[in-house]
Structure 1
């Protein structure tokens, strides 16, 4: 799937059973520490796959890597001339970390991502990383090679061509490998869609346009699509979405994308994602420094749209519906004010103490609407609070919700490499959301536990009996630093892989 008709996902990935079959320019291998004992000064060990390379050739590669000081540290790279007769011109070694990293697919995924960036301009590479975990290696090469250049002219468009092709070495079961490659391609494509949405500037991606692109994706992939415009939102009582969006000349939308598995008795999963296409903070305006990064404030919406489409493409045995509120939070003569009271969809009233705590207002409307379908499970995700980064840093999503499902989502997130961490709901914080004039206030009167308070606010709108998880990805959805592993600068696509992993887990286990 793609948000643009000419979108190139990444290198052309194929399967090969030998280095000679691949006809490649570069061989990519992993390096692990020679010992997991930190006190042992052992040379890094190449990861080359059983029987693929003669032992004497492996020894020659090892000697060359040692000569240039190659390291097994995660993400470290070294490139050496290949031994004669290997069938490639050079060997690129990427650090995997300790030998135990071979048990962690994400170490392979990250190493492949590093290799994809290091080998821009190379025609074809062949890798033995796929002999450790083919799916992870494929995802890593796709995601690491990602580029977003839609708004660059020829003057600044990348001079170096992207990595051209990757041959993934496999064992004897090529057919099984092809199925795994297809799955990895679909997942990487979904992540790329979410990244593309996030990286598209707000001048070009505003609520109406975002809704139109989501509709096009949905219809292309056989989903049922429903869009409510600003008039319908007002008529049907979506006070949170209307309140946040009324300060902008570009008015809000609510998009619903539904996938039906056709499976009798299938579980129902609801997805909700925050779609603030740009967030100035409204009347409670943000500082100017770094405000340009608020183009990413629709990262949750981007992820749930990509995920429901991916669920349809993979044909999961679960019914999935994404409910996506979209608004632009601007200060103007029509914007909501601190002290205003709005009525959320479903009737709960909220005193708006801070207009920069807007995401929870539009999510609350969408959560109530999603719960009207009586789902078994609900996952909402958002770039919701700066407090998430204060608590957990820029790479670790905070996961809150009903205890069992929260822990299940966090466990899946860690397993697939997005590293979500379960967080509590201290009951004393709930009392701090009481309002002087309404049912709730949208923020507390202090700065403590801000991520948790936002989750507690959202809990008020979840129907009893629905298994619910809230994923705060304020930092993880948008990388303001340099690229690392398979993660580029800008939109990351987190938490698409977590959500599809949870959906597949539900399909398998209920």
Structure 2
């Protein structure tokens, strides 16, 4: 029987930039992801393993069963062992592998000395990567894909059976392929370097052995869409703030939305003043870079389902204003606009995925700086719609720009659902650490849908209470609201921030994602990369794709 050797390349092929000279980093949203190829042949019969085009073969191992000491081989591993003539199980044991998701060990095969010596693997890829797949669930396979990306960085092409299924359940095989590809693409990300030269290692092209067909193709394309959204958030948030001011962010949003054929509206300082956006104007008043408000809307063909508005905090740099931050706390503040980047990436990905709902991103953009026109503790601001707010701390600027944007969205956009995303409070990080976002909401079904989406995508969210007894923390004797508590006996800083935002959403179903913890990472771990993580884009896209 003739082996299936047809291959399909999904997405845009990778272009190599390693070793090239450049004066600046690529514009966010323009960097191509690594190419992914579907290849119907397996480790047993694929001619790719003998034509010199593949640098490494990756196979999978799982933990030992209860009562058993031996690692469990999975589809492709015994076949690779037979084709190479190597006991891969013994090599895995010798390397100390446990089969846990995220493990990867590379076997570098020796080359012969002398023309008379012929090794069993002659002409085949000189590297075998043993990858742990854990329980083979979605999270484990995503981690396996991420480990594979890091183990093969700098190679040209890697072929793998990781995630391949032995049964003929097409949906399960497709979801397994999606998890592996998504993890691989997410972990392939590197922060763009702004340098005269770069020795950055490019990620390898990924060949999925033994996988083809329309369901797998669709799953891999969905993985690319989700990963591209995360790459965009990371690129935008990692861009230095001497490049990225509100005008720059507005221009990037306009360009990316225009390229996707979406509707764009940008309000500058004059329009913001005329519209009564007192929060955005106050926060941006101390900076030489004036604020903006951006709206990007995707409308599906035919009759749209719901109208979902995603509002993202867009503080392009946060000094804390007159309530100035310590130096150490300022270092990561170029990422304080991650919420706006998530909102933008979500609407672009929704358009690419053709979700059946109308989706609008609202980006309130400002730089919280120190200057002669800085707003002050004790000031009373009038936000959009007329609500007055007493300022107690200029380093709590995010809720002011969000208040303006949420009130505007509620009054003018007629959303069916309002969601906001923000790196808002240190309190959320103290309470939940770096793995979970703090999730608040006024609608049980909305909250449950977002939590479930986080479980599926690995972007975890923890449902937090809107404690009514804490509402006194946002009361003011001189204005309608005080934006942060003065009396510290209440605590619950993330909760009181959510209670403040709730005042601006009217009666709409609303959810608030405080991503201060998972929005940034000090180091690479699994599919998460150092710096801006891009948290939230995949969660929201998954939720939108399943929304009734």
- TM-score, normalised to structure 1's length? 0.92
Alignment pair present for 1:370 and 2:370: no
Decide which of 103, 122, 130 is 1:76's aligned counterpart.
103
The answer for unaligned runs of 5 or more in structure 2 is 1-11, 13-24, 110-118, 166-175
- What CA distance in whole angstroms lies between the structure 2 residues aligned with 1:84 and 1:378? 61
How much has 1:347 moved relative to structure 2? 1.3
2:446 touches 2:509 (CA, 8 Å); kept in 1? yes
Deviation at 1:55, TM superposition (A): 6.8
Could you say which residue in structure 2 is the equivalent of 1:124?
157
Identify the residue that residue 184 of structure 2 maps to in structure 1: 141
Q: Secondary structure at the match of 1:289?
A: helix
What secondary structure is seen at the aligned counterpart in 2 of 1:264? coil
Question: Is it true that 1:478 corresponds to 2:520 in the alignment?
Answer: yes
User: Larger C-alpha radius of gyration, 1 or 2?
Assistant: 2
Query: Deviation at 1:56?
Result: 8.8
C-alpha contact 2:307 2:417 (8 A) present in aligned 1: yes
* Distance (whole Å) between structure 2 residues aligned to residue 75 and residue 432 of structure 1: 44
The counterpart of 2:374, out of the listed 330, 335, 339, is 335
User: In 1, Cα distance between the equivalents of 2:429 and 2:68?
Assistant: 36
| Cα shift readout 1:95-114 (whole Å, capped 9, x = no counterpart) | 333xxx21x21221122112
Q: Which of structure 1's runs of 4+ aligned residues deviate more than 4 A?
A: 49-59
Matches within 5 A, 1:418-497: 418-444=459-485, 445-446=487-488, 448-464=491-507, 466-479=508-521, 481-497=522-538
SS of the residue 1:232 aligns to: helix
* 2:425/2:493 contact within 8 Å kept: yes
Q: Tell me the distance in 2 between the aligned counterparts of 1:329 and 1:286.
A: 11
Any residues of structure 2 matched to 1:7-18 within 5 Å, and which?
7-17=30-40, 18=42
Q: 1:192 to 1:417 in 2, by over 3 A?
A: same
Structure 1 residue 129: Cα displacement: 1.9
For residue 27 of structure 2, what is the aligned residue in structure 1? 4
Match of 1:245 in 2: 284
Instruction: Rate the CA distance shift 1:416–1:336 in 2: closer, same or farther, 3 A.
Output: same
Aligned residues of 1:3 and 1:217 also touching (Cα < 8 A): no
Q: Name the Cα RMSD after superposition.
A: 2.2
Partner of 1:380: 420
Partner SS, residue 80 of structure 1: strand
Matched with 2:340 is: 301
Q: State yes or no: 1:391 paired with 2:431.
A: yes
Separation of aligned partners in 1, 2:450 and 2:517: 18
Among candidates 207, 212, 229, match of residue 190 of structure 1: 229
Please say if 1:30 is aligned against 2:69. no
Whether the 8 Å contact between 2:28 and 2:235 is mirrored in structure 1 is no
CA gap of 1:204–1:56, structure 2 versus 1, over 3 A, is closer
Deviations 1:125-147 (A, max 9, x none): 11122425111111111111112
| CA–CA distance in structure 1, aligned partners of residues 223 and 361 of structure 2 | 22
Structure-2 change in CA distance of 1:51 and 1:489 (3 Å): same
Change (3 A) 1:341 1:115: same
Provide the rounded CA distance (Å) in 2 between the counterparts of 1:21 and 1:495.
40
What is the Cα deviation at residue 290 of structure 1?
3.3
- Deviation of 1:21 (Å): 3.9
Aligned residues: 494
**Displacement after TM superposition at 1:49 (Å):** 4.9
Alignment of 1:501 onto 2:542: yes
Q: What secondary structure does 2:326 align onto?
A: coil
Provide closer, same or farther for how the CA distance between residues 245 and 58 of structure 1 changes in structure 2, counting only shifts above 3 A.
farther
Give the distance between the partners of 1:334 and 1:272, measured in 2 at CA: 26
